[in-house]
């Protein structure tokens, strides 16, 4: 499988990751799947935890989704054009007047 990669200057990595996280609404904290509603919230029973999905993983997912959506949009556009062209050709009907 081919890899597609980009390079980001070390000084800019945090800026890029923070921007992607903010622009795509990555929460810093998420609901704790182990939170027990029947117990009082405490240090050992917290309602929210730090997001286990790192900004690196999140940004990678966003970029992959961006590329996938662009491929899909492009291929749908091509398919619509091809269908329209085929429909136009199929719509040509020869009708003659037998009395002429």
For the stretch 23-67, pLDDT in tens is: 999 999 999 999 999 999 999 999 999 999 999 999 999 999 999
What's the distance, CA 97 to chain centroid? 56
pLDDT at residue 1, rounded to an integer: 94
pLDDT value of residue 46: 97
Instruction: At 30, give phi and psi (nearest 5°).
Output: -135, 160
Q: Nearest-CA neighbor of 24 among 71, 72, 57?
A: 57
- Coil vs helix vs strand at 86: helix
32 CB-contact burial (10 Å; exposed 0-12 / middle 13-18 / buried 19+): middle
Global pTM reads 0.78
The predicted structure's pLDDT at residue 100: 78
List the chain domain ranges.
10-90
Phi, psi of 44 (to 5 degrees): -95, -10
Give the DSSP letter string of 15-78. Answer: HHHHHHHHHTT--SEEE-TT--TTS---SSS-SEEE-SS-HHHHHHHHHHHHHHHHHHHHHHHH
Average pLDDT, the chain: 95
Calculate what percentage of the chain has a pLDDT beyond 70. Answer: 100
User: What is the structure's pLDDT at 92?
Assistant: 85
């Amino acid at each position: 499988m081919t890899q597609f990669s980009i390079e980001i200057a070390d000084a800019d990595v945090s800026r890029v990751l923070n921007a992607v996280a903010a622009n795509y609404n990555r929460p810093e904290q998420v609901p704790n799947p182990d939170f027990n509603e029947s117990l009082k919230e405490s240090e050992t029973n917290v309602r929210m935890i730090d997001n286990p999905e790192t900004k690196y993983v999140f940004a990678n997912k966003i970029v992959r989704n961006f590329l996938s959506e662009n491929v899909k949009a492009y291929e749908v556009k091509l398919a619509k054009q091809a269908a329209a062209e085929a429909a136009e050709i199929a719509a040509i009907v020869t009708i003659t007047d037998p009395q002429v």
